[in-house]
Structure 1
Amino acid sequence: MIFLSKKRNYRLFLFVLLLADILAVGGLGIVRLKNEIPDTVYIREGQKDDLTKLFDLPMVTYPETIDVSDQGSYQIPCSLLGIFPLKQVQVETVEEKVVSVGGTPIGLYMETQGILIVDTGEIIGEDGISREPAENIAKSGDYILAVNGSPVTRKKQLIQKIQESQGKSMELLVSREGEEIPIALNPVKTEDDSYKLGIWVRDNTQGIGTMTYMEENGKFGALGHGISDTDTGELLDVSGGELYEAEILSIRKGTKGAPGELSGYIEYQEEKKLGTIEKNTEKGIYGRLDNWQQPLNMKAPVAYKQEVKKGPAKIMTDLGDGVQSYEIQITEIYEERADTNQAFEIQVTDPELLAKTGGIVQGMSGSPILQDERLIGAVTHVFVQDSSKGYGIFIENMLW
């Protein structure tokens, strides 16, 4: 009897484990199904799109009739087999949007919102003793906004105030993770009779990228990702910046484990200034053009996320001989990352581009991607281990 009881208990245990596995797999399946359903769908005015194409997912159902608001905005409740609610999809009616396609190299100059502390370190004092006055006080990523109550914006101002301190304690107002806090540092006199705080700082950044699109009112979007500090890796908090003409001079081809790069020259003369940079975000840089002298490329209507599909596409970029189009394949679309700058995967298939660059290289960020003659997104990243592959951002997320 004891043997039979143990056998029964063992079978019950196995049944419970099996049931738990089925529930876990089912739960993961439902989560994945929800991720594949878009949060928002855009329908152009006058367009008779069949929404069934947008929700052509197994076991997903939605009502045949819905309430529509006066503004042409409405919600579609999606469910699993008509029983379990999954998601409310927002449907928006929009006008057709047409922009000028970029691909042109641009020079970037941006000033930080305050003076960025990149790192802290040791200083050798006039007595030969090593000190670290900012240790555990200042942090990498802090932005210095004021010194002893006086606002500072440039590195030269900070250096001057440190020398004027003559070694007396200084109060710095810094912005740290969005919060303004005061910190106190004691300058150290060095062997050359100057004073230092033991901090490495930066007040501007510059580089080369690619214009993605331009609007008739002068607005532009570029890069498809933000400008981050090379040392801290954090998105730079910028007060503004300027856009200049740039010219590609050479190409370092990408190889496995070593991404390539477009090397160029930025003309920082006033007459070469193209416009101003107003925003630096995770999805690109934005601003206005006021002196764009170069010929604009083709105009193209903007595509929305739900219109992008796996298959052939092309990128527009300039390798030093003008903007050209190159063939690529969209190999993966990640619905769960649709709002990021790594929303879909691309692979370069164009023999000419592969021969020149090995695929995607640094400096090509922002190169427009077109599919079916619509602008669908921009190049944002390259795979370190395979430079023929990279990520893209949906253009929908780059619009102002």
Structure 2
Amino acid sequence: MTGKQRFRRYLVWTFWISLVFTAGFIWYYMERQIPEQLSIVAREQEEFRLDLPFDVTLQSESEEVVLGNRSNIPSGEVHLSRAEPLSLYGEKLGSYRVGLKLFGAIHFKDIQVDVVDSRYALPCGLPVGIYLKSKGVMVVGTGRLTDSQGQEVEPAYGLLQSGDYIEAINGQPLTDKEALITSLNSIGDSEALLRVRREGKDMEIRMNPVKTQDGMYKLGAWVRDDTQGIGTITYVEENGQFGALGHGISDMDTGKVVEIENGSLYETEILGIEKGAVGKPGVMAGVIYYGPGTELGTISFNTDDGIFGTVNEKMKGMLRGKPLEIGYRQDIQKGPAWIRSDVSGKLRDYEIEIQKVEYNPIQKNKSIVLRVTDEALLRITGGIVQGMSGSPIIQNDKLVGAVTHVFVNDPTRGYGIFIEDMLEH
């Protein structure tokens, strides 16, 4: 093969590889830009833009969802130009499907359009103490023991894993670490049958407790049965249901979202704020009051999108302001917005800039990219600090989201979650 032929083959291969890469990138980009689901308020025309590399066609098979733009294509099918907004109008409540075609012929995906009533919630921004009781005793890790004979052993190695939950021993349910210790010492040298929940599935594990030099019987596992911290309440609905944080509470050692039996909200006092710096997120330092009469509500769920439950009358009496209409993802625009927070000791709104909106993000709690622009907040916190997660985001007099994370290398910037994703729980 001559050098000229090799060069020609190289060009052909380069062309096809570039073509495949470009097609794959465009497909991935389109998948990210076009949401799987949209919610629109009944009898209100919603308008939004999709940042697409080329024109697409939308087709609705239902008369309940009307598509519209400036095209002359018949009703029910709309040619969507990159430069033109899409309008959606739903008359009746319900869930409907809208199909999307590339180049007017290739079916790309279906979008679920939910037609809903207007919904309202009170943006909060108040810090609270959080206590979670795990569902079972959580295994943090395993390690070596020195038995009564002075030998090093590791009985749980290969049997228990970080993130496991021990639910029962020999058929007796476990409520906490103390119950685990009591059960092991009553079993002694006999075999223990552990019922363990691993990644949502129950399994049985047989092992023998080891008698250590202090006379106690142990499994060789580090365990934990509760978690606590400080966070921010995002919203409270008229029925007392609340959402907070915008992300789940994870175990500090395993990094996994804690599976909970129940939990509670408590009064807290912020004692100081360590400002954020590049490479080091700031933090709100405070004390949680667990005494009588300090409980503010109950926690029912700990999920990737936040914690959820019901506030009590004491908490309701602490709320200020008025309920706002819920804004959906298509209502959010780049530009000025506000976050509500009590970091200064007084509840107020601070100005931010919404820099990016991801309709279909990989992680729900990173749907919004924002930057703190309010000089007063920058003086107090340096931007976003730990403990501000859950601070409600307000734009155009609508509750649209909540702060969830801070950029480690830029504390003035962070992520947020759509409020509609929190309200699904």
Scaled by the length of structure 2, what TM-score is found? Answer: 0.87
CA distance in 2, matches of 1:73, 1:134: 49
Establish whether residue 251 from structure 1 lines up as the match of residue 236 from structure 2: no
Counterpart code for 1:61: V
Give the counterpart of 1:38 among 29, 35, 41.
35
Establish whether residue 391 from structure 1 lines up as the match of residue 405 from structure 2: no
Counterpart code for 2:44: Q
Q: Structure 1: which 5+ runs fail to align? A: none
For the structure 1 residues 195 and 316, does the alpha-carbon distance in structure 2 shift closer, same or farther, using more than 3 Å as the test?
A: same
- Equivalent residue, structure 1, for 2:154: 132
- Equivalent residue, structure 1, for 2:21: 24
Please say if residues 60 and 97 of structure 2, whose CA atoms lie closer than 8 Å, have aligned partners that are also in contact: no
Q: Name the SS of the counterpart of 1:31 in structure 2.
A: helix
Q: CA deviation at 1:56?
A: 6.5
For the structure 1 residues 63 and 270, does the alpha-carbon distance in structure 2 shift closer, same or farther, using more than 3 Å as the test?
A: same
Give the counterpart of 2:402 among 370, 378, 395.
378
Deviation readout 1:293-329 (Å, 9 max, x if unpaired): 3133332111111111221111111115122211111
Please say if residues 249 and 320 of structure 1, whose CA atoms lie closer than 8 Å, have aligned partners that are also in contact: no
CA distance in 2, matches of 1:378, 1:171: 44
Deviation readout 1:328-367 (Å, 9 max, x if unpaired): 1112223341661111211111111111111111111111
Q: Structure 2: which 5+ runs fail to align? A: 65-91
Aligned residues, how many?
395
Establish whether residue 323 from structure 1 lines up as the match of residue 320 from structure 2: no
CA distance in 2, matches of 1:129, 1:8: 72
Counterpart code for 1:170: A
- Equivalent residue, structure 2, for 1:97: 119
Q: CA deviation at 1:171?
A: 1.8
For the structure 1 residues 155 and 349, does the alpha-carbon distance in structure 2 shift closer, same or farther, using more than 3 Å as the test?
A: same
Please say if residues 247 and 320 of structure 1, whose CA atoms lie closer than 8 Å, have aligned partners that are also in contact: no
Deviation readout 1:151-207 (Å, 9 max, x if unpaired): 111111111112222333322111112222222232222222222221111111111
Establish whether residue 238 from structure 1 lines up as the match of residue 260 from structure 2: yes
Establish whether residue 47 from structure 1 lines up as the match of residue 71 from structure 2: no
Q: CA deviation at 1:13?
A: 4.8
CA distance in 1, matches of 2:342, 2:395: 19
CA distance in 2, matches of 1:160, 1:144: 14
- Equivalent residue, structure 1, for 2:238: 216
For the structure 1 residues 145 and 13, does the alpha-carbon distance in structure 2 shift closer, same or farther, using more than 3 Å as the test?
A: same
CA distance in 2, matches of 1:74, 1:188: 60
Give the counterpart of 2:217 among 183, 195, 199.
195
Cα RMSD, aligned residues only = 2.2
Q: CA deviation at 1:38?
A: 2.1
Moved more, 53-62 or 117-126: 53-62
For the structure 1 residues 15 and 322, does the alpha-carbon distance in structure 2 shift closer, same or farther, using more than 3 Å as the test?
A: same
Give the counterpart of 1:261 among 264, 283, 288.
283
For the structure 1 residues 8 and 233, does the alpha-carbon distance in structure 2 shift closer, same or farther, using more than 3 Å as the test?
A: closer
Please say if residues 274 and 289 of structure 1, whose CA atoms lie closer than 8 Å, have aligned partners that are also in contact: yes
- Equivalent residue, structure 2, for 1:295: 319
- Equivalent residue, structure 2, for 1:166: 188
Moved more, 135-144 or 163-172: 163-172
For the structure 1 residues 73 and 204, does the alpha-carbon distance in structure 2 shift closer, same or farther, using more than 3 Å as the test?
A: closer
Please say if residues 338 and 350 of structure 2, whose CA atoms lie closer than 8 Å, have aligned partners that are also in contact: yes
Moved more, 194-203 or 358-367: 194-203
Q: CA deviation at 1:84?
A: 2.7
